[in-house]
Amino acid sequence: MYPLLFRAVLSHLDSELAHHAGMLVIRVLGVRPFSWAAAALTRPAPTLRTQALGRIFSSPFGVAAGFDKNVVGFAGLSALGFGHVEVGTVTALPQPGNPKPRLFRLIPDRALINRMGFNNDGAEAAAARLRAIRARRGNRAVIGVNIGKSRVVDVADATADYVRSATLLAPLADYLAVNVSSPNTPGLRGLQAVATLRPLLQAVQDAAGATPLLVKIAPDLPDDQVVAIATMAVELGLAGLIATNTTVSREGLVTDPAVVAAAGDGGLSGAPLRERALAVLRQVRQVVPREFAVIAVGGVETAADVADRLDAGADLVQGYTAFLYRGPLWARQINRGLAARG
């Protein structure tokens, strides 16, 4: 039914409006007794239980950052069968993000272009919602928190900005991810230079305390910089790395070039990112020890895609864009496919 709904209705709505409509449904699914009914339908098989980052995940498959920016859909996403939810990106200061429109579908490519710009309610609001989640009882997914730089903060002052978010959010998170790889905040990707990134990560790590810390990198980095960041992350004692964020490349798209040009700047996600994201994953895994966690994301849509990432050394796998194309039972489809694989 969902493919028909998408073609007939959702594909004709503004992309961001459609996302908010979907999130409303997810929020309803997070309320009892709807959450119980959904969980009964989507609960992952026990064989999919995975250990990583010192936590037990009901499935290796979870939701990438960007889907639930404001920590409002966590209960519903848990009920839909995702093993973890990475909320955010959260910034220390609340901000509206970039002007609309800022989210665009490339349907022939099963892709999205976004230039959202870290629109979110800020770290204090996110912390309050995380405390409410922690106060509830019952089974739930692992919750990661992705933090980024506030737009109004100069790049030179980025470390203090990240530390403020980490101080508020790390005690409430199962893991914390430092986002220095979104293309939609001016100057942010420049923080991926090793000389700049090392002191930033050291400061955030100190603020995070016992909470596992990861760094999320871009697929557009040259191979030697991917290796350099992965090596540095190990040297610093980080818990892991997330590979990868969205890409600024438009190579290989089959969507009408006029449609792509009209969408404009922003990060491309979805199926076109599959091969590069997988290649970066393999590069990272070659240079980090087995106990160092690697989360794979980018171009993941099917159980076979998730299996490919696990076979390439990923401990966990995330998706986002295909949720739009696959619908609310997407995690169940993935988990059933993985369980059948054995």
If one counts every other C-beta atom within 10 angstroms of the C-beta of residue 171, the result is: 16
Report helix, strand or coil for 72: coil
- Whether the CB-CB separation of 327 and 275 falls below 8 Å is answered with no
1 marked ligand binding residue: no
H helix and E strand count, the chain: 13, 13
Spacing of C-alpha 192 from chain mean position: 18
Residue 120 among known ligand-binding residues: no
Q: Which two tokens stand for residue 60?
A: 């290796």
Task: Show the tokens assigned to 195.
Answer: 């000389």
How far apart are alpha carbons 29 and 25 in whole angstroms?
Answer: 6
Confidence of residue 342 (pLDDT cuts 50, 70, 90): confident
**2 marked as part of a ligand binding site:** no
Task: Judge whether 68 is annotated as a binding position.
Answer: yes
The rounded distance, in Å, linking the Cα atoms of 132 and 22 is 22
Per-residue model confidence as pLDDT tens digits over 313-324 = 999 999 999 999
Range in 132-136, 257-261, 283-287 with the lowest mean pLDDT: 132-136
- Quick one: pLDDT at residue 145? 98
Asked which of 190-194, 197-201, 265-269 is least confident by mean pLDDT, the reply is 190-194
Q: Please, which pLDDT band fits residue 3 given cuts at 50, 70 and 90?
A: confident
Per-residue pLDDT, averaged over 25-53, amounts to 93
The answer on whether 76 is annotated among ligand-binding residues is: no
Tell whether residue 30 is among the known ligand binding residues.
no
Residue 148 contacts residue 185 (beta carbons within 8 Å) = yes
Domains in the chain and their CATH numbers? 2-97+116-245+277-341 (3.20.20.70)
Residue 327 labeled ligand binder: no
Predicted confidence (pLDDT) per residue in 111-128, tens digit = 999 999 999 999 999 999
Q: Is 182 a catalytic residue?
A: yes
Catalytic residue among 150, 182, 249, 269: 182
